[in-house]
A and B are shown apart, each in its own frame.
Chain A
């Protein structure tokens, strides 16, 4: 099997501290693999466990430092890493990002069976990149996947979670899926994987290497743009109670009142 896993470099939100005004202190925040993408990689590795011939290519778009995270993915068991990295990619919205990823995949990976993405990136939260990329690649998609129930070389059985319940579906390759987190932890890197990562060069692909049109990338290729930004504002009176018993009275009262 031939699997692509998309990985995003995100700031470690566990590290994030807040100022008194409620703004984020970004200095000294470490970069990590987006936690949802860790699960995407773990699913790919589970498939490789069963079919050792499986080739896993991890792909990211981002700054040069993101190479380290791709190496980390190789240390965990992926085979190859490709980083789409170019100043011209900067300022991309989800449309331009997914177009860049789709073109990178088309250029560098042939005969794909499965592309696995994390459902959300913890810093962007849009959940748009995977479906948008599936659109650029003209592939079917299954999103909000909570489990891979079974798979073989012909197809894959997935569980998807909606507001109403759990839907099990049978899908054929090639396919894009985006996955939710699971309760079991994704695996760590191995010594063998670490050595492998040291000996594997990450392919760095710039705009020219990928051969993508200027009007699909970066700020210029993004159909959306930020027109203004402002601090959020929604204050309430914040009456501090010193007697916690009063809290129960308030709860009883408010329940009677209705919204």
Chain B
């Protein structure tokens, strides 16, 4: 019985936090061995990543080494993972649903013929010890718990869905290095250029305050008011899916199941009705405030505070006040 978390890395070679969140969650529901897979170039210094994974509480770390693994590549990473899974043979295999995680996980699953449940919001075990992966379905109006008929049972989880445990400095996991041979694999997708995101495009999931506009704020004047209000209180502007579907904004500032999962200190929903697919992306926020003209909008049921009324009247008052 073992559970494995794939720890993908950022461009600066640091393990993505979502891997540590997955280990933290696994510690809560899984009693068997919990290990992590780290992929690295032959000469790469992995001590910091090993330290972080140790502190998250893994029992074992597999460091998979090959010169071709210095940077993320779909085909090299896929093969390296598949070849090491032959040795590790886990029952459960979890991957963070970052861009690269979402690129890689289905590729691994299809090669293994394994079931993969995307973007889970909860993980646990059934009485028989199978992975119970829960995610919203039918546009988010229903939660579904999905099981897998095959092994490994795979699931992806978005960043920030689970909380990271307090670091355990005492934990001393076993480290096993595995050299994989990738001589027969070629990835002819060549990276030409990388442009990092500027402060302006700092992702919304890192913001302390988020002011989000929904379908009730779709008119350009209202959008402007929401943005102004966000500026006033030092928040990041975000949107719900309907404004992205209308083609008004890009998906990178969208909160919800298809967008980002956010956990700011304060989340202010302006003209957002509160479809479950949206709520899934912000329900763990510190304080949730809703402004909506429909007093029956579901958003009020999951908000700490609400104001019922017209955004075009309320927001200017809030913007003007000291």
Contact = CB atoms under 8 A, between A and B. Distances in A.
Q: Is chain B found bound to chain A in the same assembly?
A: yes
Interface of A: 11, 13-14, 16, 18, 20, 22-24, 35, 93-95, 98-99, 120, 122-123, 125-136, 140-144, 157, 161-172, 180-181, 183, 185, 222-232, 234-242, 244-245, 247-248, 250-251, 254-255, 258-259
A234 B283 contact: yes
Given A171-B189, A229-B137, A131 B107 contact: yes
B266 A128 contact: no
30 contacts: A24-B139, A95-B115, A123-B139, A127-B106, A128-B106, A128-B118, A131-B110, A132-B107, A132-B109, A132-B110, A132-B116, A135-B107, A140-B74, A140-B189, A141-B103, A143-B102, A143-B103, A161-B252, A163-B203, A164-B10, A166-B194, A223-B109, A223-B116, A227-B146, A229-B144, A234-B279, A235-B301, A238-B302, A238-B304, A258-B265
Interface in B208-236: 208-209, 233
Interface of B: 10-11, 74-75, 98-100, 102-107, 109-111, 113-119, 126, 132, 136-150, 187-197, 203, 208-209, 233, 241-242, 244-247, 250-252, 257-258, 263, 265-266, 273-277, 279-280, 283, 286-290, 295-296, 298, 300-309, 314, 317-318, 321
Looking at chain A's contact residues, the main secondary structure is mixed
Contacts, number: 263
A236 B115 contact: no
A14 B314 CA distance: 26
B265 A259 contact: yes
Given A132-B109, A226-B144, A226-B145, A169 B189 contact: yes
Contacts of B208: 255
Given A123-B139, A169-B192, A222-B115, A239 B145 contact: no
Nearest to A224: B115
A177 B62 CA distance: 31
B307 A168 contact: no
Contacts of B106: 94, 98, 127-132, 135
B136 to A, nearest CB: 7
Contact of B147 (A142, A167, A224): A224
Contacts of B136: 232
